[in-house]
Structure 1
């Protein structure tokens, strides 16, 4: 049985500057088979790079699509 990953802001940012197609698909709620089919047709929701026999997804467009702010969060001033 497959385990569902909860994609928090922190988990997404931890991906770094690029990720694999299956991980990007999972973050978008797209399964492995569909992600590969969309990439082959050039229809994946964000840009995909083909490097040899692998797909690589830059995370910046993924973050933009998911509306993930990658800037460090500022601490709210405490009220004393």
Structure 2
């Protein structure tokens, strides 16, 4: 799976899916779900029912990408 470009990361909405986060950092979706469930993903994760959402501002900070 191809990683996301910086422009793609800057265009993300307020929260992103686990699949999008996994693609952006080059990890498998299963591993990102595992980290989210264990509370070990390195940025804020919101659980809504059975769904996990990654807070984009924290995610961009993790990647060292800030909007200009």
Same fold (TM over 0.5): yes
Structure with more relative contact order (C-alpha pairs < 8 Å, separation 6 or more): 2
Please give the alpha-carbon distance, in whole angstroms, between the structure 2 residues aligned to 1:14 and 1:55.
20
Once superposed, what is the RMSD of the aligned Cα atoms?
1.1
| Runs of 4+, deviation exceeding 3 Å | none
Structure 1 or 2, whichever has the larger Rg, is 1
- 2:3 maps to 6
Is residue 3–residue 23 contact of structure 2 (8 Å, CA) maintained in 1?
no
Aligned residues: 68
Deviation per CA, 1:12-64, whole angstroms, max 9, x where unpaired? 11212110012112211211111111111101121100001100111001111
2:48 equivalent among 18, 42, 51: 51
Structure 1 stretches lacking a partner, 5+ long: 72-80
Structure 1 residue matching 2:42: 3-state secondary structure: coil
TM-score with structure 1 setting the length: 0.77
Please give the alpha-carbon distance, in whole angstroms, between the structure 1 residues aligned to 2:50 and 2:3.
28
Is residue 14–residue 56 contact of structure 2 (8 Å, CA) maintained in 1?
yes
